[in-house]
Structure 1
């Protein structure tokens, strides 16, 4: 003699309907108890660096601009990786911090990145514009 749940549900129809109603009410109550925020708190741990050098080839941008900046950014405490795209006269670098970076340290790390990039900018070839840093991804206003 095995327990057949389907047969039991059909046989005890009133109990089955009551349990379905109870689960639906509990789910509805749980839904209205969920926390909501218009702007949920999260920290974006990425910044972009744009550097321009009018007249330079993509290879020159890579060798003389992007690589020195990337090497300098690797000195950051919470550095994870960089992705750089170069075009003639333009280098676009996305810098990512490690996921475990404490949110309280992100702005300080971005400040340090700006300082390192400013120091490295003095060593870049003449005519280079930037590097220009954008870390305001989470600002929606």
Structure 2
């Protein structure tokens, strides 16, 4: 097969040359005429419908909202597939259309169908369309941003918290105390008696019973 193709090309050189020139011109024209997207949309032609029903379980949402609404949306012209998901308090239905259906025409048909949903959905449940964006555009709904000073402030907080004293059990304590109104016995050393009476050790009684007097408050460690 390849040998016959080469033989035919050699016999018809002029025809092969014309075809090569035509292909070259067509390639140059395609380069300048083909639209180029910075981020090409490779997603399907789809429309998303959300429905909120607060305080309901996924089973209730599936039976009374998702299933009947999906059945109605399957009857639209140009529908390729219908996918649904039921969660707590809300329902999400994705209607996928064929590629030849215009995106805004599909949204219009879905909107018209949702206008009739009040006849078969529970009272107060109103379905609505997702934002006018493709599946690729939904990636930019949420962004993750980092504060350049966040790490520095975190380290500063950790350093500050590490400087705070922590309470410990045991150790040394300091308090205020007072001597009771009683006479010191003679066996008490002189320096103890002087300290208890607020006087010097030389004035404390060294023998016998000390006279009863009101002592001054002292500080004990």
- TM-score of Structure 1 vs Structure 2, range by shorter chain: 0.5 to 0.7
1:124 aligns with 2:87: no
Unaligned runs of 5+ in 1: 1-29
Structure 2: gaps of 5 or more residues = 1-27, 138-221
Where does residue 82 of structure 1 map in the other structure? 82
Conserved 8 A contact 2:51-2:128? yes
* Residue 72 in structure 1 maps to residue 72 in structure 2: yes
Name which of 112, 130, 143 aligns with 1:134.
130
Q: Distance in 2 between matches of 1:86 and 1:111?
A: 24
- Give the whole-Å Cα distance in 1 for the aligned partners of 2:57 and 2:39: 43
**1:112 counterpart = 2:109:** yes
How big is the alpha-carbon RMSD for the aligned residues of Structure 1 and Structure 2?
3.1
**Bigger relative contact order (CA 8 A; separation at least 6):** 1
Displacement of 1:122: 3.8
| Number of matched pairs | 107
Structure label with greater radius of gyration: 2
Give 2:36's aligned residue.
37
TM-score, reference length from structure 2: 0.41
More strand by share: 1
Q: Secondary structure at the match of 1:37?
A: coil
